[in-house]
Amino acid sequence: MKKRWIVNAPDIELQGLLGRELRISPLTAQLLINRGLRCSSEAFSFLSPSLKDLHDPFTMKDMDKAAQRIVKAIKEQEKITVYGDYDVDGVAATALLCLFLKEISLGISDSIRFDYYIPERMKEGYGLNNNALKHLSGSGTKLVITTDCGIANYDEINFARGIGLDVIVTDHHEPPDPSSGRAPRLPPAYAILNPKQTNCPFPFKELAGVGVVFNLIIALRAKLLGCGMWDAGGAKPNLKKYTDIVALGTIADMVPLQGENRILVKYGLDELTFSKRPGIKALKEVSGLGTDLKSVPIKTGSVGFQLAPRINAAGRLTKASMGVKLLITEDDKEAMDIARELDRENIDRQRLEKDILSEAMETVETEDFEIDKKRAIVLAKEGWHPGVIGIVASR
């Protein structure tokens, strides 16, 4: 098969400008130009990502309102439930918010009442559902915070309001399009955090769900500082240590590694490499990525092809809540038990994929589908596991 290469014409003048200002070679300068980085400040940020370049989270629409409502729940001892999606991004975002709530709970006299809920893919499907919301309300929940889901759940959030639940949506998926005829309105949530929603001035639109939650905890920490949660000499949460969780979800969700994502992943990979978090250490060990005695540098490929699939396997085959439990546990033995179970689930997932792919390919090859004349082929068979058929189709 012949390939046609399209080679960008070099911009000699801009090459020279970037080269002089950044002290880089003409080749590196041209590669930056080819990526659309034409000014030295953008190029410098790309080459040297820094947490100080993160945007102000309060520029995200509804951020102040969301943070204030969570502070109110903390002060009034209302029970908070973090409701997450079952993929790695949703699991990571749920774990991130739970870890932060747990940490700040240690700094106040009354513990924060919170829990998490991850729906089962096979039984409940994606996003919020009324039965789960009814269960949460019955167990005393007053505030539901979604992670990586909720933006398309108009009816469910309307139902939640009717049974006395406030819902804060944190999501990064495309908001409903009024012209589509499907869910034409944003859900009637107490607050919606989604950089893609209309009239949201937050500059970076490509955050993963866990990135939206990271911005929320930055804002929440600022609000709690403002209301005297920690005295002048008190230890305030260092949010950098959470970037391992952020990187895990961001890489797994395959959002562009640009802007804020690039910054968070850069720091997160360092945190993953040297993590003391029991769940991360155990997950790395069962994935062949080092032990306590020997640390292996973690790269994006390590996350995408070794760490994330093991967390994802539970969401596809059994219970995604295992992934949250792994990331938030403080017990080394429990972490290793869960990590080994996730490793077994991942092996089962790989076997199922291989078997279904083989059957699908055999069907295509033996049946006369006239492939050249069709835009798509739809295959189905009783017994094919719904949790992996999407992966098989993509192959």
User: Does residue 72 sit in the same domain as residue 93?
Assistant: yes
Report pLDDT for 353: 75
Q: Is the pLDDT of residue 320 over 60?
A: yes
Query: Domain for residue 2, yes or no?
Result: no
**Residue pLDDT, tens place only, 359-381:** 777 777 777 666 666 677 788 87
266 within some domain: no
Residue 151 located in a structural domain: yes
Measuring CA to CA, which residue among 26, 55, 31 is closest to residue 43?
Answer: 31
How do strand 191-193 and strand 79-84 relate by DSSP bridges? unpaired
Question: How far is Cα 84 from Cα 168, in angstroms, rounded to an integer?
Answer: 12
Local confidence band at 293 (pLDDT 50, 70, 90 cut-offs): low
Burial letters for 158-190: b for 16+ Cβ neighbours within 10 Å, e otherwise? ebbeeeebbbbbbbbeebbeeeeeebeebbebb
Both 91 and 239 in a single domain? yes
Q: Are residues 247 and 375 in the same domain?
A: no
Q: Return the DSSP state at 141.
A: E
In a domain, 264, yes or no: no
Residues 41 and 66 in one domain: no
Q: Which tens digit of pLDDT belongs to each residue from 246-284?
A: 999 999 999 999 999 999 999 999 999 999 999 999 999
Do residues 118 and 321 touch, judged by C-beta distance below 8 A? yes
In a domain? residue 301: yes
Whether 110 is in a domain gets the answer yes
Looking at residue 362, its pLDDT comes to 76
Which domain CATH number covers 117?
3.90.1640.30
Whether 130 and 28 share a structural domain: no
Per-residue model confidence (pLDDT) at position 109: 56
Task: Note whether 331 and 207 are same-domain residues.
Answer: no
Query: Average pLDDT in the 174-195 region?
Result: 83
**Average pLDDT value for residue range 174-183:** 70
pLDDT at 74: 94
Nearest to 165 by CA among 95, 101, 80, 85: 80
Question: 184 falls in which pLDDT band (50, 70, 90)?
Answer: low
The pLDDT of residue 178 is 62
Question: What is the spatial distance between Cα 144 and Cα 171, in angstroms, rounded to a whole number?
Answer: 13
Looking at the fold, whether 165 and 286 belong to one and the same domain comes out as no
71-122 confidence digits (pLDDT tens): 999 999 999 999 999 899 999 999 999 999 999 887 665 678 999 999 987 7
pLDDT given at position 291: 72
Q: Please count the structural domains in the chain.
A: 3
For residues 300 and 204, membership in a common domain is answered with no
Domain membership of residue 296 (yes or no) is yes
Assign 382 a pLDDT band (cuts: 50, 70, 90).
Answer: confident
**Same domain as 224, residue 325:** no
Q: Does residue 388 fall inside a structural domain?
A: yes
pLDDT at 185: 87
Domain containing 126: what range? 57-176+183-255
> What digits encode the pLDDT tens for the residues 27-38?
999 999 998 899
pLDDT score of 1:
59
Could you give the CA distance from residue 158 to residue 109 in angstroms, rounded to a whole number? Answer: 35
Nearest CA to 80 among 54, 106, 93, 98? 98
pLDDT band of residue 179 (cuts 50, 70, 90) is low
Question: In terms of domains, do 84 and 16 share one?
Answer: no
Mean residue pLDDT of the chain comes to 90
Q: 311 and 215 in one domain?
A: no
Non-local (6+) Cβ contacts of 334 within 8 A are: 278, 325
Quick check: 339 and 332 in contact, CB under 8 A?
no
Q: For residues 159-174, give the mean pLDDT.
A: 98
Q: What pLDDT does 233 receive?
A: 55
Residue 319, pLDDT score: 78
How high is the pLDDT of residue 106? 77
Q: Highest mean pLDDT range out of 7-16, 207-216, 281-290?
A: 207-216
Q: Could you tell me if 198 and 125 lie in one domain?
A: yes
pLDDT of residue 231: 62
For the chain, what percent of residues have pLDDT higher than 70?
91
Q: For 224-241, what is each residue's pLDDT tens digit?
A: 998 877 665 556 789 999
317-333 average pLDDT score: 90
